[in-house]
Amino acid sequence: LFSEVPQAAPVAVFKLTQDFNNDQFPNKVNLGVGAYRTDEGQPWVLPVVKKVEKIIVHDDRLNHEYLPILGLPEFRSSASKIVLGDNSPAILENRVGAVQCLGGTGALKIGAEFLRRFYNGSNNTKTPIYVSAPTWENHNAVFSSAGFEDVRPYRYWDAEKRGLDLAGFLGDLESCPEHSVFVLHACAHNPTGTDPTQEQWKCHFKQDIILRKLFAFFDSAYQGFASGSLEKDAWAVRYFVSSGFEMFCAQSFSKNFGLYNERVGNLTVVARDADNLKRVLSQMEKVVRITWSNPPSQGARIVTITLTSPELFSEWQENVKTMANRVLLMRSQLKAKLQALGTPGTWDHITDQIGMFSFTGLNPKQVEYLVKEKHIYLMASGRINMCGLTTKNIDYVAESIHEAVTK
Ligand code: PLP
């Protein structure tokens, strides 16, 4: 029955980790994985998460009954508030709702499935879905597997300048068909670590989105990670809401809570009015029912308890800052070391970029040299996870990059 099934290619980032695990070299370094690591190179359970887990264990009122299909109500509302702000005009107007999802991926999936069925009034597969070039690889697959036949790149990264291709981005916004859907990274763009500035969002993008009647689907996987501030990292999303747009925002709590394997995500829906919202959520409930039926509770409880207690909330913010600051430190040290070594090229982009990742500009040959000769594992695109750097391995990594560039 299955003799004709073709072998699927492994997922690059997980394959890289497998190769890293199999490598016996003592000073090997994993700069591939998209997860936070401490300066000891270890995963970090946030102290606030440990504390809340204890609260949950001792709460006899909790059980393992099914959650509602759309998820824990307090989770959905507190998660939406984190991204839109407590005083969001849309929340005050009762036109914000949400679906608890399995991670940010699940939120993108439910949003994509809903849009394919109902966007712009019809069951459509032809609507162009624009994703940035480059982007997190799953964006393409999530939208095409939901039935969209036209997932296209919009220009984003200028490799020569090692920065945003503003003219290209604007050109694609201006020339795209009306009612296209744009998947926008809310902050800490993966993989480039390069975001539009507030001025660029304000001066350029808004007008095009109005003129072309585009739909913005934000992906917020790194809130708090980019700047250490929840507000700053949600600026673009809040700006769109304050401009009156209907939009979706897929939120992931994998990175900012370190809850990677609990699969905690939220799809925030900003609708035109309360009546639209009600009907949209009723259809999303149907999509969830045939997808995972009911979401898991542990991660959502952890996030809800944290977000709704002032003390735990400020402790969480401190934990997020700890992670963001370590990334900033690694950025400045890596740049300083490459500059001290006289490595050819400019390295300002290492500190200009934000969030977990850096798009180093290393070419595939240089990447191959680092992986094969130096046991330093990074994505073929040259993307590195800054958290894979530690005060112990940073000299080795900088010297190895220097060798890769100069050899
Ligand atoms: N969106 C982006 C841009 C990401 O980088 C990631 C994870 O790496 C996700 C979404 C998915 O997050 P989750 O693990 O919560 O599904």
Is 275 designated active site?
no
- pTM of this prediction? 0.96
Which atom of ligand 1 is found nearest the CA of 189? 3
- Write the pLDDT tens digit of every residue in 63-83: 999 999 999 999 999 999 999
- 331 closest CA partner among 308, 359, 307, 305: 359
DSSP-assigned states of every residue in 260-325: GGG--EEEEEE-SSHHHHHHHHHHHHHHHHHHTSS--SHHHHHHHHHHHSHHHHHHHHHHHHHHHH
3-state secondary structure of 384: strand
Q: What would you report as the CA-atom Rg of the chain, rounded to the nearest whole angstrom?
A: 21
Is 254 touching ligand 1 by the criterion CB < 6 Å?
yes
Residue 143's SS3 state is helix
Mean per-residue pLDDT of the chain: 95
CB 193 within 8 A of CB 225: no
Tell me what pLDDT residue 204 has: 75
Judge residue 37's burial from the number of C-beta atoms within 10 Å of its C-beta, 0-12 exposed, 13-18 middle, 19 or more buried. Answer: buried
Q: How far apart are CA 66 and CA 300, in angstroms?
A: 13
221 lines ligand 1 (CB under 6 A): yes
Instruction: Please state, in angstroms and rounded to a whole number, the distance separating the CA atoms of residues 336 and 330.
Output: 10
219 is catalytic: yes
Maximum alpha-carbon separation in the chain: 64
pLDDT for position 206: 78
- Could you say which DSSP state residue 380 is in? T
In this predicted structure, the answer to whether residue 6 has a pLDDT above a threshold of 90 is yes
pLDDT tens-digit series, residues 279-337: 999 999 999 999 999 999 999 999 999 999 999 999 999 999 999 999 999 999 999 99
Cα 1 to averaged position of ligand 1 atoms, centre (Å): 34
Closest-lying ligand 1 atom to the alpha carbon of residue 219: 1
d(CA 246, CA 216): 8
Query: 324-360 pLDDT, tens per residue?
Result: 999 999 999 999 999 999 999 999 999 999 999 999 9
Distance 147 CA to ligand 1 centre (A): 20
Question: What does the alpha-carbon distance between residue 159 and residue 378 come to, in Å, rounded to a whole number?
Answer: 18
Task: Tell me the C-alpha distance between 377 and 357, whole Å.
Answer: 14
Q: How far is the CA of 107 from the centre of ligand 1 (A)?
A: 10
Q: Is 68 helix (H, G, I), strand (E, B) or coil?
A: coil
pLDDT digits over 355-387, tens only?
999 999 999 999 999 999 999 999 999 999 999
Is the predicted pLDDT of residue 209 greater than 90, yes or no?
A: no
| Angstrom distance (rounded) from CA 397 to CA 27 | 10
The response to whether residue 128 sits with its C-beta less than 6 Å from ligand 1 reads no
Is 401 near ligand 1, meaning CB less than 6 Å away?
no
CB atoms within 10 A of CB 343: 19
Beta strands in 15-64 (DSSP E): 29-30
Among candidates 174, 169, 179, which has minimal Cα distance to 207? 174
Q: How many helices and strands, by DSSP H and E, does the chain display? A: 17, 13
Contacts of 61 (CB under 8 A, 6+ apart): none
Of 81, 255, 337, 374, which residue is the catalytic one? 255
- Pocket test residue of 252, 262, 263 for ligand 1, highest count of atoms within 8 A of CB: 252
Catalytic residue among 136, 157, 235, 316: 136
* Amino acid, res. 48: V
CA-nearest residue for atom 4, ligand 1, is: 221
Q: Is 217 in the pocket of ligand 1 (CB under 6 A)?
A: no
pLDDT in the model for residue 123: 65
* Model pLDDT for residues 79-123, shown as the tens digit of each residue: 999 999 999 999 999 999 999 999 999 999 999 999 999 998 776
Q: Is 136 in the pocket of ligand 1 (CB under 6 A)?
A: yes
pLDDT score, position 207: 78
- Tell me: the pLDDT tens digits for 180-196? 999 999 999 999 999 99
Q: Which own/partner contact pairs does 390-394 have at CB distance under 8 Å and 24+ positions apart?
A: 390/37, 390/38, 390/39, 390/40, 390/41, 390/330, 391/39, 391/333, 392/39, 392/41, 393/27, 393/29, 393/41, 394/330, 394/333, 394/334, 394/337
Select from 213, 195, 201 the least CA-distant residue to 240.
Answer: 201
Residue 104 CA, ligand 1 centroid: distance in Å: 5
Q: What is the pLDDT of residue 221?
A: 98
